[in-house]
Amino acid sequence: MSKILVITTSLRARSNSDILAERLIAGTKDAGHEVEQISLKGKEIKFCIGCLACQKTQKCIQKDDAVWISEKVRDADTLVFVTPIYYYEMSGQMKTLLDRMNPLYASDYRFRRVYLLSCAADDADHTPEKAVNGLQGWVDCFEKAELAGSIFFGGINDPAEAAGKEKELEEAYEFGKTLL
């Protein structure tokens, strides 16, 4: 049984990516894993100021929600980032969080597998590529970790539209069952 942390990054209430994440989480729990979800809604996450103090102390000098989120990330076996695609890239709040997790680089982090679930109005095959590449860049900084998989749901735009997408909901559930 793995300890899986799912971080949802949409700030929209009842977002499509959150709806799909709920199904992913259901599949992960049904596969017997321990799952915790953190939503970035209502969280204060400041921009990284590039001071690099964290490389010596493994702690950020800024005091906000990114500090405790980073601790949860450090202690998880598996990470799942969930993002809407904005302008063919991950959400800005997801990127800001990734930047702020710089203290983990020099730490004894536990996670080994990282996954991405993304969704967008555009349904072209290339739509998630930059978001996947951006997350891959973050993962590349952690020698013991790998980007183990990604799933994309295109053609979903209107608020809560994903709730009526049975095929996509089932795919998210099945993807969740495959996480390690």
Max intra-chain CA distance, the chain: 49
Amino acid making up residue 178: T
Angle (CA) 34 40 97, round 5°? 95
**In CATH, what number does 3-178 get?**
3.40.50.360
Residues 6+ apart with CB under 8 A from 53: 59, 60, 61
State the Cα–Cα distance between residues 120 and 75, nearest whole angstrom.
30
Cβ pair 56, 105 in contact under 8 A? no
Mean pLDDT over 85-106 rounds to 96
Residue 1 has pLDDT above 90, yes or no: no
Query: Which tens digit of pLDDT belongs to each residue from 126-160?
Result: 999 999 999 999 999 999 999 999 999 999 999 99
Structure tokens at 105: 């680089």
Residue 164 has pLDDT above 90, yes or no: yes
Query: Which tens digit of pLDDT belongs to each residue from 25-81?
Result: 999 999 999 999 999 999 999 999 999 999 889 899 999 999 999 999 999 999 999
Q: What is the bridge-based pairing of β-strands 34-39 and 78-84?
A: unpaired
Q: What's the confidence (pLDDT) of residue 106?
A: 86
Q: What's the confidence (pLDDT) of residue 121?
A: 97
State the Cα–Cα distance between residues 2 and 10, nearest whole angstrom.
25
Residues 6+ apart with CB under 8 A from 137: none
Looking from the CA of 153 toward its CB, the CA atoms found within 13 Å total: 31
